[in-house]
Chains A and B, each alone.
Chain A
Amino acid sequence: MGGARNKGGRMPLVLALSLGLTGCSDSGSDNMASTDGTKALSISAFINTPNQAPTADNRIYKKIEQELGVKLNMEFIVGDLQQKLGVMIAGGDYPDLITADPKLVSAGAVIPLEELIDQHAPNLKKHFAKVWNKMKDSKDGHIYWLPNYGVISGEYLTTYYSGPAFWIQKDILKEAGYPTPKTLDDYLKLIRDYAKKHPAIDGQPTIGFTTLAYDWRTFPLLNAPEHLTGHPNDGGVVVDNAVASVFADKDMAKRYYKELNGLYNDGLLDKEAFVQNYDQYLAKLSSGRVLGMFDQHWNFQPAEDTLVSQNKIGRTYVGFPLVYDTSIKDYYLERPAPNLNNGFGISKDAKDPVRIIKFLDALMDEKYQKLLSWGEEGVDYMVGKDGKFYRTPEQRKQQEDPAWKLANRADGFFGAVPKMEGTFSDGNATSAGSQPEEFYQSLKPEDKELLDAYGHKTWTDFFSPPPENPVYYPAWQIDLIDGSDAAVANKQMTDASLKYLPKAIMSKTDQFDSVWNEYVNAYKKINVKAYEDRINEQIQWRIKNWSSK
């Protein structure tokens, strides 16, 4: 304890000095890079997803190093992103490529990219042409970030669904004769019935429904009400007629949490839902005994990968776009919007921004897009007589193995760079998962059976086709500005929700209302208006500045 820490504070003098020295030599290694393009350039990159580091001799990274002369030195987030960025800013020391965050712009940590792109990056310029204006910072008109997702080229194909939904195990649907739950009530009834019949799964008690509210991953708990009322994913607000308002303390939210309260008192809601961390959440889902949850697919994908590798296909999930009642039209599936304030920026510490942008531009070439997304021809995929890409069953099997992927895929880096989505110029889909034939062939027999039973071809068929995006959509991307009243209010609102919602959900049925009132009162003490004002001001700004394009 205190004593131990005291001792530790002085002892590592030598250690600290030597670390300081290695620190210096470390940043010096960038000097190896030369502009003539012959020597290998080492690019450091900080990525905000908690991937595992690839193996040292990863096939794809090696190929990139050989062909483009760039060695990637990646750091993946461990723990809390905002804390990490805060420390980075306080220390003023940045990697060359850095994950997007508005905080870094206000700290002057990143350089404007528009001139670099204009002069050195024709591929990027072409790729972003359609969304160029949207990428500009609303304060100074510069472009700091290269959005990693949401820019579509060619034809947009959807098969896999990665967004928000109420998820339910495939076995439940099968046992119930493939019903289509439309409302929250339908869904909860399915879960209640199944849990009653199967109190244990694989020897462990069944968990009817779980949720997650850990670190920044609070959307599984907080975002459901906006979807249930037919709104798209705007984050902490619902936007009606271009006016945003906070919903977390309103009746539209109360109704949902009241249902969860009911589930809890029936013993069907995971008791540890509000205590668990992300790893525990994934571990629980991987055990196959959680019947359902509200979440975004990408958030629990690792758990589903584990289920697939254990061949528990019946325990993986199908997402449904639930609403409160059938008069509401679901709006879960959205048209892709550029993922602003995401992806990479180039930091002011980068020694050679020109070579870095040239490197990113080279990756935008279809050749490398194919390498990063599909893999190597003949190794990771085959080309049919008709020119269509496909995978052999063995190749598909490999792609399901997380350990194999660390040695043979560049997923960690590919997730953060700008990428083509839709189709390549040769008509192939930009990823194996969205190539219709390949998608169907890659399905497990259980999945084929399920989709056939519903008469669907893909997972997105369960959702209503999305209407055209409003020009300001989505509001969750709006930068609240560091240290502003809006940012503080946002933090306080999240804190209040995380404190009172679990209390309300876990209360006795007759006490729910009184806890809810406490929650509403706590909300009244927060400067919610500052938050709403900032969002509305930006919505108006977007309408004004983005409408022409």
Chain B
Amino acid sequence: MAGIQQIVPSKKSAAGAASRRASLLHRMRGQKQLMWMSMPIVAYVILFSYYPIWGWTMAFQNYRPAKSFSEQEWVGFKHFAFLFSDATFLNVLRNTIAMSLINMVLGFVTAIVFAILLNEIKHKLYKRTIQTISYLPHFLSWIIVTGIVANSLSVDGGIVNVLLMKLGWIDGPVMWLSEPSYFWGIVGASHVWKEVGWNAIIYLAAITSIDPAQYEAAEIDGANRYQKMLYVTLPGIKSIVVILLIMNMGWILEAGFEVQYLLGNGVVVDWAQTIDIFVLKYGLQVGNYSLATAAGIFKTVVSISLIFAANTIAKRLGEDRLI
């Protein structure tokens, strides 16, 4: 009985698959040009994204650069075990996640608020000027930005200290960069300064696609300006926000490297060191490539899991989703 039952659907599906294959081939032939055009991209992804995965084998060896693959010494999960038993790494993991979350939340909130506020400005030239000024810092490299930040926060005539002292909020200059508890905040604020304008662009674009009729209808219903923002604009860009949130989940272990490396110093190291800096110090600088790879794999696995988790949650909530 069971055999027959199984055979019947499989026959059906085989036939279905055959016809599907035929139609797929047919479709592919019909879209020949598109297929050709996508080839370079596929090749690029295979070459630069999939082929390097082979290098993950390094994480399970005591990798030495001069030796061939067969000569490498295999050590299993030794490097992973080292990572998770090392107090520094756990500390570093905390810093990475914390700074990443701060950056993400701050980044989202400020960009959305900024976009909505900017949208309310009706004077064209004024609006454009503000927008241009706000996204220009995006094009500066971190090394320049951290230089600006370090100079502004200097106790030696840095603008932040001067300003706060003029306002009477502090008595003497504060050593911002050598106080561990300020570090995360400084990193978050630097990110906001650099990226808020740039991140707002996509929301501004989303806002323009909202049907003006909705605003008119809201107006007829007696909504004031703030109510329109809250009940028309925000829901209008909700799907974009969710998609971006899902995409950004993948970067949660990428708190960045440059900012922390360039602004950090020995005094704040317990709060400033991220996974990437740890990998640089104990992987690349002492020539322990296997450890660096192990940390990289860990990051990848966590990131992929987070993306899928976020995607599933979005699905449950009935939102648009990425995958």
Q: Give the B-binding residues of A (Cβ under 8 A).
A: 1-6, 13, 16-17, 80, 82-83, 86-87, 89-90, 92, 103, 106-109, 205, 213-214, 271-272, 274-275, 277, 280, 482-483, 487-488, 491, 495, 497-499, 501-503, 506
Contact = CB atoms under 8 A, between A and B. Distances in A.
Given A2-B104, A5-B251, A274-B265, A488 B195 contact: no
Interface in B266-299: 266-267, 269-270, 280-289
Contacts of B283: 86
Interface stretch (B8-16, B18-26, B149-157, B228-236): B149-157
Nearest to B293: A90
25 contacts: A1-B107, A2-B107, A2-B254, A3-B107, A3-B202, A3-B248, A4-B198, A5-B254, A6-B251, A16-B44, A83-B285, A86-B284, A90-B284, A106-B287, A107-B287, A271-B155, A272-B154, A275-B175, A275-B178, A275-B267, A483-B288, A488-B286, A499-B267, A499-B269, A499-B270
A3 B199 contact: yes
Given A82-B284, A482-B288, A491-B281, A272 B65 contact: no
Given A106-B65, A271-B156, 18 more contacts: A1-B107, A1-B191, A4-B138, A4-B198, A5-B254, A13-B41, A83-B285, A86-B287, A89-B65, A89-B287, A90-B65, A103-B287, A214-B265, A271-B155, A272-B154, A272-B178, A275-B267, A488-B282
Given A491-B281, A501-B266, A2 B247 contact: yes
Contacts of B285: 80, 82-83, 86, 491
Contacts of A82: 284-285
Contacts of B269: 495, 498-499
Contact of A87 (B44, B198, B284): B284
Given A2-B248, A4-B198, A17 B40 contact: yes
A106 B251 contact: no
A213 B282 contact: no
B145 to A, nearest CB: 13
Given A106-B65, A108-B65, A488-B282, A502 B41 contact: no
Given A1-B191, A502-B178, A280 B66 contact: no
A272 B286 contact: no
B308 to A, nearest CB: 17
Question: How would you classify the secondary structure of chain B's contact residues: helix, strand, loop or mixed?
Answer: helix
Contacts, number: 130
Contacts of B175: 271-272, 275
B11 to A, nearest CB: 43
Given A108-B66, A274-B266, A487-B286, A1 B195 contact: yes
Contact of A13 (B44, B191, B199, B262): B44
Contacts of A482: 286-288
A2 B103 CA distance: 9
B267 A83 contact: no
Interface residues of B, number: 46
Contacts of A274: 178, 265-267
Contact of A213 (B41, B266, B284, B286): B266
B201 to A, nearest CB: 9
Interface string B239-265: 000001001101100100000001001
B221 to A, nearest CB: 34
4 nearest A-B pairs in the assembled complex, by CB-CB distance: A482-B287, A498-B266, A108-B66, A86-B284
Nearest to A484: B286
B59 interface: no
A108 B68 CA distance: 11
B48 interface: yes
Contacts of B66: 106-108
A2 to B, nearest CB: 4
Interface in B165-210: 175, 177-178, 191, 195, 198-199, 202
